[in-house]
């Protein structure tokens, strides 16, 4: 029985081996698969094209191939730079604090910029002002992504780093709309008028600067005479040594005169005769010091030791902190003037501050 069973199995196997292969059927199956895959591919391309033409959507395939995409009446552009978020700390009641032009300018050089407005007296605004040491409005606080932009690479000096954030204040973009803090007045500063006066006028000036001379002679001297009992006038030094070769020595001399209580008399002499000593080969302070009755031994010692060099450096640093790079620069209370100011403008500003 077993032999008959094995013989039967051998016959069955021979039938299977001898069964002809249906190549036509197999080919038909292959063609079906190919047609199916091709249909899917064509369908995908059709969807890409249809979405793009109809503007009902853009497929990833289309986006990878295009830098400019029209969609729903707008043009979308692909940029290699990251999205940068800037928080604009501002006062919506301050007319001079409008940032429209500044933001437009920034978006030209940082097209991926996202702008968030923060009111300066809100909780978030007060925290940003404290953390970022903001002195004027408007102020622009950028996240760390700004360091990956081309504009940062080209102009990193205008950004101030505080922690993980970067700021640009209004003083670096132009005239600030509003100052939140004012220059500090120290006992070493040359000043006249009541120290507890309601209004302080702080002047940053250069003795060799012609515009400073005009401002002193035509505007400041008149204000000193008219408001000497109502306003505290303060003078700080910014000798622009890179363009005025005698400005540093003149500033040292004026501070030495102030050390003897003769600053304003000495300033009158220096500004009054500015053209003469500016044109000389070297600066000679002696005639002006003698003219105002200064103790010359003490004055000469003060000059030779450069006693007030650090004070002048500190004045310069303070000016830079307020974004001041030119002279004259004047604070009348919280109102700032950069450059020459007529007496009428100056008087109006003082009267407005006194009336507050």
**Do both 158 and 95 map to the same domain?**
yes
**Do both 281 and 151 map to the same domain?**
no
More confident residue, 46 or 288: 288
**Do both 339 and 266 map to the same domain?**
yes
**Do both 229 and 255 map to the same domain?**
yes
CATH code for position 209: 3.40.30.10
β-bridge partners, 68: 77
Q: Is 10's pLDDT higher than 50?
A: no
**Do both 57 and 96 map to the same domain?**
no
For the entire predicted model, the pTM comes to: 0.69
Q: What percent of the chain has pLDDT over 90?
A: 56
Across the chain, mean pLDDT equals 84
In-domain check, residue 16: no
Q: What is the mean pLDDT of residues 182-202?
A: 94
Please give the pLDDT value at position 64.
61
**Do both 289 and 227 map to the same domain?**
yes
**Do both 53 and 88 map to the same domain?**
no
Name which of 83-87, 135-139, 283-287 the model is least confident about: 135-139
Q: How many domains does the chain contain in total?
A: 3
DSSP 112: T
Q: What is the mean pLDDT of residues 330-336?
A: 91
Range(s) of the domain holding residue 43 = 24-67
Q: What is the mean pLDDT of residues 40-65?
A: 51
**Do both 112 and 148 map to the same domain?**
yes
In-domain check, residue 296: yes
Please give the pLDDT value at position 133.
87
74-90 confidence digits (pLDDT tens): 666 667 788 999 999 99
**Do both 99 and 241 map to the same domain?**
no
Q: Which residue has tokens 């003795």?
A: 207
Confidence of residue 61 (pLDDT cuts 50, 70, 90): low
Confidence of residue 28 (pLDDT cuts 50, 70, 90): low
CATH code for position 92: 3.40.30
Alpha-helix runs per DSSP H in the chain: 2-18, 23-54, 60-65, 100-109, 123-131, 150-155, 170-173, 210-215, 221-227, 247-258, 263-272, 274-279, 286-291, 296-304, 309-321, 343-355
Please give the pLDDT value at position 177.
82
In this structure, the number of other CB atoms found within 10 A of the CB of residue 8 comes to 9
In-domain check, residue 346: yes
Q: Is 242's pLDDT higher than 60?
A: yes
Q: Is 24's pLDDT higher than 80?
A: no
Helices (runs of H) and strands (runs of E) counted in the chain: 16, 14
Please give the pLDDT value at position 173.
62
Q: Strands across the sheet with 190-192, in order?
A: 190-192, 231-237, 199-205, 329-332, 335-338
């Amino acid at each position: 029985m077993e032999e008959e069973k094995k013989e039967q199995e051998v016959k069955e196997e021979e039938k299977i081996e001898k069964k002809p292969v249906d190549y036509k059927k197999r080919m038909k199956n292959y063609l079906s698969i190919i047609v199916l895959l091709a249909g899917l591919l064509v369908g995908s391309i059709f969807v890409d094209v249809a979405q793009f033409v109809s503007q009902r959507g853009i497929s990833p395939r289309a986006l990878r191939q295009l830098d400019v995409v029209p969609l729903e009446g707008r043009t979308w552009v692909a940029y290699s730079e990251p999205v940068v978020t800037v928080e604009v700390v501002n006062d919506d009641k301050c007319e001079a604090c409008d940032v429209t032009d500044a933001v437009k300018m920034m978006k030209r050089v940082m097209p991926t910029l996202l702008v968030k407005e923060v009111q300066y007296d809100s909780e978030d605004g007060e925290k940003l002002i404290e953390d970022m040491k903001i002195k004027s409005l408007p102020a622009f606080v950028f996240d760390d992504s700004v360091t990956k932009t081309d504009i940062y690479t080209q102009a990193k000096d205008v950004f101030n780093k505080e922690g993980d954030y970067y700021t640009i204040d209004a003083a670096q973009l132009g005239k600030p709309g509003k100052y939140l803090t004012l220059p500090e007045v120290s006992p070493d500063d040359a000043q006249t008028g009541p120290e507890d006066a309601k209004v302080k006028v702080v002047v940053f000036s250069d003795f060799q600067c012609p515009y400073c001379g005009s401002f002193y002679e035509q505007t400041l001297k008149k204000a000193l005479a008219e408001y000497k009992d109502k306003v505290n006038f303060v003078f700080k030094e910014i000798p622009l040594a890179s363009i005025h070769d005698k400005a540093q020595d003149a500033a040292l001399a004026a501070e030495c005169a102030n050390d003897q209580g003769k600053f304003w008399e000495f300033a009158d002499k220096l500004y009054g005769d500015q053209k003469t000593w500016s044109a000389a080969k070297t600066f000679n302070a002696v005639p002006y010091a003698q003219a105002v009755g200064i103790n010359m031994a003490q004055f000469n010692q003060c000059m030779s030791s450069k006693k007030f060099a650090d004070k002048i450096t500190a004045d310069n640093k303070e000016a830079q902190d307020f974004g001041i790079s030119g002279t004259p620069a004047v604070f009348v209370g919280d109102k700032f003037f950069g450059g020459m100011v007529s007496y009428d403008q100056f008087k109006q500003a003082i009267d407005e501050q006194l009336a507050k």
